[in-house]
Structure 1
Amino acid sequence: MLTANHQEEAKHFIDFPTDFVCFGLGNEEYGIDLSKVQELHDYESVTRIDNAPGYVKGVIRLYDVTVPIIDLRIKLKLAKAIYNEMTSVIILNLSGQMLGIVVDGVFDVITFTTDQVLHMPAPDKRTRSSFMLGIGTRGKRTITLVDIEELLGSDQLYADVDLAH
């Protein structure tokens, strides 16, 4: 259980209760706000983009929209991904812009309340933890809750990906 001070700090970053889509990357479990998720897809081949950052796998066409696909393992500098039948793409809608993230697998949706989340101290924006909202616990599970827009830097991402190709 969190102290009242931690609960109060957490409320400033996330409105609780909040639903999170939980997914795996390697041996870790992460969660992103369900309101940012548009849909889920199996991983399939993508069209490569010349001169795109290494973490951009390419693009797919979805509903006549060109959607960049980001491999979160590469973005987070984790071990090389192995694509298999569990590999999924989470299609996000971030401020009206669609993009997909490749994850090892999507597990479920969990509603977290304030007392189930350990709020992270205010991060230094230069560190990898600047995207972490907190650590959610559910039974024996520990889930890193992330601000997906902060993690992806979606404004910069679209500037980096030339979709004219």
Structure 2
Amino acid sequence: MEDKVIVFQLAKEHYGVDLQQVRSIERMQAITPVPQTSAFIKGVMNLRGDITPIIDLKERLELGKTEYTEQTRVLIVQIETIQVGLIVDSATDVIDIDPSFIEPAPAMIGGVTKEYLKGVAKLEDRLLVLLGLEQVLNQEEKSEMKK
């Protein structure tokens, strides 16, 4: 059985996350800053009545800051019991990946350390870095999101 993956871009690299963890893909909207949170937590967004914490994924993975453009998207994802928005440069595709094409993550790829990686998929035309969303936030940061 193939895995369905949402493909998105951060700093010219393509990444993927499990489609089952993605609730929706939204255009950039107004974000209300929340004081005394980590720098990569940009604030909260009112999404159809739900107050959703918003993270700049590029900043979280230490890949720089996101320049907001017409292509910028917010992936609304479920990380354990928390709904979180992840700011990405663009969301480009939904693809099926045969699990046999997925290899364990190297120590670092594209500037992202192994702790955030689920694996690397070897596709016909490129490598796709698969992120493990559970690892993107540590326990302390998950607690920050619940406040």
* Class of the TM-score when normalised by the shorter of the 2 chains: 0.7 to 0.9
Equivalent residue letter for 1:64: G
**What is the identity, as a one-letter code, of the residue corresponding to 2:86?**
I
Q: Which has the larger radius of gyration?
A: 1
TM-score, normalised relative to structure 1 = 0.79
What is residue 100 of structure 2 aligned with on the other side? 115
Structure 2 residue 8 is the aligned partner of structure 1 residue 17 = no
Structure 1 runs, 4 residues or longer, greater than 3 Å off: none
Q: Kindly tell me: are residues 36 and 50 of structure 1, through their superposed partners in 2, closer, same or farther at Cα, counting changes over 3 Å?
A: same
Where does structure 1 lack aligned partners over 5 or more consecutive residues?
A: 1-15
Name the structure 1 match of 2:89: 104
1:156 alignment partner AA: E
| TM-score (norm: length of structure 2) | 0.88
In 2, the alpha carbon distance for the partners of 1:79 and 1:67 equals 23
Matched, 1:85 2:70: yes
Within the candidate set 120, 132, 156, 2:140 is matched to 156
Which one has the bigger strand percentage? 2
Is residue 140 from structure 1 mapped to residue 129 from structure 2 by the alignment?
Answer: no
Instruction: State the 1:79 CA deviation.
Output: 2.5
| CA distance 1:121–1:85, shift in 2 (3 Å) | closer
Alpha-carbon distance between aligned partners in 2 of 1:32 and 1:91, rounded to the nearest angstrom: 12
- Gaps of at least 5 residues in structure 2 are none
Query: Judging changes above 3 Å, is the alpha-carbon distance between structure 1 residues 35 and 136 closer, same or farther for their aligned structure 2 residues?
Result: same
Aligned match of 1:6:
none
Shift of 1:37: 0.4
2:11 matched residue in structure 1: 26
State whether structure 2 residue 18 is matched by structure 1 residue 36. no
RMSD: 2.1
